[in-house]
Amino acid sequence: MKGNLSLLDRPLIAIVGARNASAAACRFARQLAYDLGQQDAVVVSGLARGIDSAAHDGSLGTGTIGVIAGGVDFFYPPENQSRQEAISERGLVVAEMPPGTEPRARHFPYRNRIIAGLSAGTVVVEAAPRSGSLITARLAAEAGREVMAVPGSPLDPRAQGCNQLIRQGATLVQNVADVLEAVRPMQSSLASPRNAYEAEPYQSDGDDSALGIVEELLGPRRCRSTRSFACRVLRVARCRWRCWNSTLLDASIGMPAERSACERLDGPNPKSPPYTRMREGNL
C-alpha cells in the first residue's frame, strides 16, 4: 500500500466498467464518483482505462483508492502514470504483487477480488457480456456485497453486461441516491465497534536475583553444557522449577538474543531436550 491508509476507515464504494467506454458513460462515472465523495464515501477502482480512470478523476479530491494488478511501483497502463502518482499522494494505491512486478493477465482477477472485498457495494458502468467487470460483480456477490448496475441501450454491446446483471437481480442505479440507499443496510452490517487496545503489563513470577543471574549467564561467557548452566542457576538462585521457567522467560524476552539459552549453549536437540532429563530432586 502507498498513500493515505485512513481512507480505509470510511465507507468504500467500487466503480468499475469497460475500458473502451463511451463518452457518456465516462461522464456519468466521473459525476457519480464526485457525488459519492461529497457524501463522505471513498471510491475504489482498478486504475484502468475508461470507467476506472473517470471514477478516479471524479473522486481524487475527496478520496479514492486505486487497486492495481502489478507492483505498487509499476505503472500500467503507461498513460496512467501521472494519475497513479497523484492517487498515491492524495489517495491510496493498493497492490497485492511485490514491487517491480509487471502485471500479467492472470493478475487482474486477483485485483478484482480485492476491489470487491474492500467495498460495501460495486457499481458496474458499461460492461460487455464477457467483461472483467462482471468478474468483479460476481466476486462481490459471492462475498455478500451489494451489486449495482447502470442500465444502457440494448443496441450497445457495451451495455449488455449491465443489463444482464439487472436481469439477474442487481440493483438498478441512476444517481448517487440509489447507490447510498442500496449500500446503507450493508454498511450497518459491516460496521464494527472500535475499541482501543490496552496491553496489560507483564508480571513475572521470578525474583530479581534469579533474573540477574540468568542475564549474566546469557552473556558472552558460556558454560560447558546446558545441564551445568541450569544447575548453576538453580543452585545459586535457589528457586523452584516454576520460578526458573519464569526467570528464563523474562531474560529471553528482555535481552536481544537471537536464540534461546539452550540453543545458544548446546544447540537444539528436539529428540531429547536437556530439561526433560532434569529433575528438581536431583539438582
Tens-of-pLDDT digits for all 283 residues of the chain?
Answer: 999 999 999 999 999 999 999 999 999 999 999 999 999 999 999 999 999 999 999 999 999 999 999 999 999 999 999 999 999 999 999 999 998 899 998 999 999 999 999 999 999 999 998 888 999 999 999 999 999 999 999 999 999 999 999 999 999 999 999 999 999 876 555 555 556 656 666 565 556 666 677 666 666 554 445 556 556 655 555 554 555 555 555 555 554 444 444 444 444 444 444 444 444 444 4
Our CA dihedral for 263, 266, 272, 278, rounded to 10 degrees, sits at: -100
pLDDT of residue 205: 58
CB contact at 8 A, 246 and 205: yes
- Residue 50: name the closest of 131, 109, 106 by CA: 131
Q: What is the pLDDT of residue 280?
A: 44
Among 44, 164, 17, 177, CA closest to 115? 44
List the grid coordinates of 87.
492517487
Q: Contact 145/120 with Cβ under 8 angstroms?
A: yes
Backbone phi, psi, residue 168, to 5°: -85, 0
Identify the CATH number of the domain defined by range 2-190. Answer: 3.40.50.450
pTM of the model: 0.66
In this predicted structure, what is the pLDDT of residue 256?
45
Distance CA 3, CA 172 (A): 33
What residue segments make up the domains of the chain, in order of their start?
A: 2-190, 208-282
Distance CA(235)–CA(214), nearest Å, equals 12
